Amino acid sequence: MEDASTVFAPWLTAWRLAPDGEPFRSAPSGAWLLPVRCGPTAAILKVASHPEEKRGGAVMAYYAGGGAAEVLAHDDQAVLLERLDGPRSLADMARGGEDEAACRILCETAARLQAPRPGPLPDLIIRLEPWFASLWPRAESDGGYFAAAARIARELLVRNEAPVVLHGDLHHGNVLDGGSRGWRAIDPKGLLGPRGYDYANMICNPDAPTARRRFERRVAIVSEMSRQDPAEVLRWLVAYTALSASWTLGSGGDPWQALDTGGLALAALSL
């Protein structure tokens, strides 16, 4: 097992940081994180152990604080982020009677992240089409919902639509309370594709029962705020949930939560 002090040592020295808490690891990527102080500023040092995390660090730098946590320093393996430790939680809001407000915050965050920016695209960014690689064989082997979703996904992915830099995992746990700085995103996947993809996962979270109870209203809010037809929102939701379920099955898990929400979307499209 890696020793945490060894993992962080190069960046603590290079960026003149002082530890300010206990190290921990993120799931599922296993990146190391450490609360630190950068002078008077509270920050989080994140050291990547997987290519996806390295890609995410480059995307965070590309966002330059526009809807995302501010990057204080970064290189090809580590990123130093402002610490977002406000008391509010979008998951708690969604479960506690403020779901509409939470949904609108997520939509506003998506719009800020997708806004055009000058300069080159982030390093290591990948296109959305290969991101769906797990869905195609699942559709062939299992048919049913996966086959229907694969047809929809292929139609969405081949359309002539200007791609944007996508967060790729925009949900209640990845948009944090930054206090006076507002809500800020963390942990992007670093994808490039049609903007509708980023609005799907927020409808599925923070859990399947909440998503089911609030399904129709969430679709309406996302449609309104993202300026997409409701059918377009539903189509992206079907594609995303089938992809998520394919990943879960591939790792030996039970995909019922993704399929529960996706089933609502497919049924709504069939009306």
Catalytically active residues, by annotation? 169
Q: Give Rg (Cα) of the chain.
A: 19
| CA dist list (Å): 85 to 71, 115, 173 | 15, 25, 13
Cα(24)–Cα(64) distance, integer angstroms: 25
- The two tokens of residue 119 are 């300069």
Within 13 A of 249's CA, how many CA atoms are on the CB side?
A: 18
Torsion of CA 141, 146, 152, 158, to 10 degrees: -50
Please, what is the angle between helix 215-226 and helix 99-114, to 10°? 30
